[in-house]
Structure 1
Amino acid sequence: MTASTRYASVRYLVDDVGTAVDFYTTHLGFTLHTSAAPAFADVVRGPLRLLLSGPTSSGARATPTDAAVAGRNRIHLMVDDLDAEIDRLHRSGVSFRSELVTGPGGRQILLTDPAGNLIELFQPAHRPTTDATTTP
């Protein structure tokens, strides 16, 4: 298997490629990488390449009908200030699919793209660093 060292890619099936590109670039800090709309586009944020496959794309056509529904899997986007992101997205009209959840690893909230694909915004809990030069 040949491995790419540039991006880790995830494919989302979307109803409308243009609408999906607008959502990810406007609200979540992605940039457009390539576009063959209306069938396909991909957007990039850091090392994540998100493949947006419309109904006529080969990726969507290769998916069995019973597997083409949105599931519990989601992309996981780390943010520095979750409260500020929630506020900004609320002001932009983005709705959320969950309440804010706090756990031992940090805080998270779920939203969906226009096609219903889940996105998790996550702010890690502050963890004290260990100084290797000190001894107990």
Structure 2
Amino acid sequence: MTDPEKYAGVRYLVDDVKAAVDFYTTHLGFTLNLDASPAFADVVRGPLRLLLSGPASSGARATPADAAVPGGNRIHLIVDDLDTEITRLRGAGLAFRSDMVTGPGGRQILLADPAGNLVELFQPA
């Protein structure tokens, strides 16, 4: 088993690897770790390694069509000031997929990457 101190990896299937890399590195503070475009790239933010798999990647080919379940799955990024992040990202031309939601644990809003994968920005209470 992998050392638990290593990155936690999440695979997102994307239509355009370059567009996904640009989205995560430009807008959400990820850094490029590996670029094997157009098939694959991985970007890193803190302990999260996000595997961006294009249509030609082995990760995409290994997913049966009936296994992909759209819904509420998403990566969860903690931010210090949600209002500032919303203003910054809207200023960059990004559209959010939800209104801001406030609950007992904090506030959150959803946006989507260029392939439609969800990203939750969350500010703890």
| TM-score of Structure 1 vs Structure 2, range by shorter chain | over 0.9
Instruction: Give 3-state SS (helix, strand or coil) of 1:6's partner.
Output: coil
Report the counterpart of residue 50 of structure 2 in structure 1: 50
Q: Which has the larger radius of gyration?
A: 1
Q: How many angstroms apart in 1 are the aligned matches of 2:57 and 2:12? A: 11
- Segments of 5+ residues of structure 2 without an aligned counterpart are none
What number of residue pairs does the alignment pair up?
125
1:70 CA drift (Å)? 3.7
TM value normalised by structure 1: 0.88
Distance in 2 between the 1:72 and 1:8 partners?
Answer: 19
1:68 deviation in Å? 3.2
Tell me, yes or no, if structure 1 residue 122 matches structure 2 residue 122: yes
| RMSD, aligned CA | 1.1
Q: CA deviation at 1:92?
A: 0.3
The amino acid that maps onto 1:91 is G
Deviation at 1:69, TM superposition (A): 5.3
Normalised by the length of structure 2, the TM-score is: 0.96
Residue 33 (structure 2) pairs with residue 33 (structure 1):
yes
Percent of paired sites with the same residue: 78
Q: Which residue is equivalent to 1:79? A: 79
Taking structure 1 as reference, are residues 70 and 114 closer, same or farther at Cα in structure 2, changes over 3 Å only?
Answer: farther
